[in-house]
Amino acid sequence: MQIVKLPSSKPLQTAVFVLKKTRMEGIYMKRHSKQNRARSSSKISPNFTGQHLLHNPKTIKRLIEVARLKSNDMILEIGAGKGGLTFPIGEQVRKVIAVEIDAAYAQALKSKVIASERSHISIVHADIRTYCLPTSSFSVVANIPFSITTPILERLLGAEGRALQKATLIVEKGAAKRFTQKTTFDSRLLMWKMFFTFKLESVIPRTDFAPPPRVDAAIMIIKRRETALIPMQEAKRFVAFAAYVLRAYKAPVSEVLRGIFTPAQLKIVLAQAGLHREHIVVDMELHQWGTLFHAMLKHVPAHRWPRN
């Protein structure tokens, strides 16, 4: 008689157990993922873009005072929230465009506008990063979402914001210090300063907001210069020039600029800008940057200009 040896059932049992465990884990992960998505959607708040609503009446009053509003102004407000700034601004100017990304807030504001019969206040449900800015003269008064400060400034201070005259903004205190300090290491910020002045007006404690940010905030005022230091159409070219020079921001200007100007040109250009050969790049004044850039455009062949 032939004896047939049957395989052990343990591997089969183990395989079944692993399969069942894998299925259960898959079901759990799928269910857990759905719960997370539902939880996230139910907790969407204005703070998802770093927005902290200003609730201190004294600070709101102070912000509007330093904005120096005029009755014929058109004001763009960014991140209107619950309208804490919107309606006080509307009492002093001819037109308010309040942009709010949160649909619920935007709808509530629209209802308030209708109820108050303030037809000169327009509530726009939109993302300021894609919203088309006004083409006629306007100013901005806003408590902007801190997490998108730079993208907002890129819109306002770039080509699309050519009609912007002034911006009175609440930003993080650290950001306000970086934008307003005399020493500039960022070529884009340096370009903005060719067209605008920056001023840190005052500090706002974090407790004036809900929810409170991790750090204090500040009021920063940006004003368009009456006379720009460089032509607007040359802004991108200036950024390339500034980036090239700032690569060696601790070096003497004569060493850095000899890659652009000939020795004879450099002697004349430095004299025009009021610079000596050993003057350190980072210590140059804004008007000196403008003078050097104009000299490059006028006297240096285009093939020697710095490129992005």
The CATH number covering residue 268 comes to 1.10.8
Determine the pLDDT at residue 164: 98
Q: Is the Cβ–Cβ distance between 79 and 142 less than 8 Å?
A: yes
CA pair distance 179, 279, nearest whole angstrom: 23
Q: Is the Cβ–Cβ distance between 76 and 99 less than 8 Å?
A: yes
Summary mean pLDDT of the chain: 88
Name residues whose C-beta falls within 8 Å of residue 149's C-beta, 6 or more positions apart in sequence.
171, 172, 175
C-alpha triplet 91, 93, 95: angle, nearest 5°: 110
CA pair distance 204, 218, nearest whole angstrom: 5
Q: Which amino acid is at 57?
A: P
Q: Which of 171, 201, 224 is the last residue of a domain?
A: 224
pTM of the model: 0.83
- 263 and 289 in one domain? yes
Considering the domain boundaries, does residue 14 fall inside one?
no
- 291 and 146 in one domain? no
pLDDT at 32 over 50: no
**Residue 308: pLDDT band with limits 50, 70, 90:** confident
Q: Percent of the chain, pLDDT > 90?
A: 83
Considering the domain boundaries, does residue 162 fall inside one?
yes
- 145 and 80 in one domain? yes
What's the helix, strand, coil split of the chain in %, to 5?
50, 20, 35
- 195 and 157 in one domain? yes
pLDDT at 16 over 60: no
Q: Is the Cβ–Cβ distance between 93 and 87 less than 8 Å?
A: no
Determine the pLDDT at residue 50: 65
CA pair distance 170, 149, nearest whole angstrom: 10
Determine the pLDDT at residue 49: 55
Considering the domain boundaries, does residue 180 fall inside one?
yes
Domain that holds residue 296: 232-304
CA dihedral 158, 224, 75, 92 (to 10 degrees): 170
- 147 and 271 in one domain? no
**Count of structural domains within the chain:** 2
- 208 and 74 in one domain? yes
Considering the domain boundaries, does residue 64 fall inside one?
yes
Considering the domain boundaries, does residue 26 fall inside one?
no
- 249 and 216 in one domain? no
Q: Which of 198, 224, 250 is the last residue of a domain?
A: 224
- 238 and 96 in one domain? no
- 246 and 204 in one domain? no
CA pair distance 258, 115, nearest whole angstrom: 66
Q: Is the Cβ–Cβ distance between 166 and 223 less than 8 Å?
A: yes
CA pair distance 169, 219, nearest whole angstrom: 6
- 249 and 197 in one domain? no
Considering the domain boundaries, does residue 89 fall inside one?
yes
Considering the domain boundaries, does residue 171 fall inside one?
yes
137: CATH: 3.40.50.150
CA pair distance 139, 21, nearest whole angstrom: 62
Mean pLDDT of 103-112: 98
Mean pLDDT of 191-216: 97
Considering the domain boundaries, does residue 258 fall inside one?
yes
Q: Can you read off the two tokens belonging to residue 20?
A: 């069942």
The 10 Å CB-count burial string (b at 16+, else e) for 216-238 is bbbbbbbbbeeeebbeeebbebb
- 160 and 82 in one domain? yes
pLDDT at 94 over 60: yes
Q: What does DSSP assign to residue 101?
A: S
Residue in 138, 211, 213, 204 with CA at minimum distance from that of residue 176: 204
Q: Which of 196, 224, 252 is the last residue of a domain?
A: 224
* β-strands 121-125, 53-54 pairing: unpaired
CB-side exposure of 207: number of CA atoms within 13 Å?
Answer: 1
Determine the pLDDT at residue 197: 98
- 152 and 220 in one domain? yes
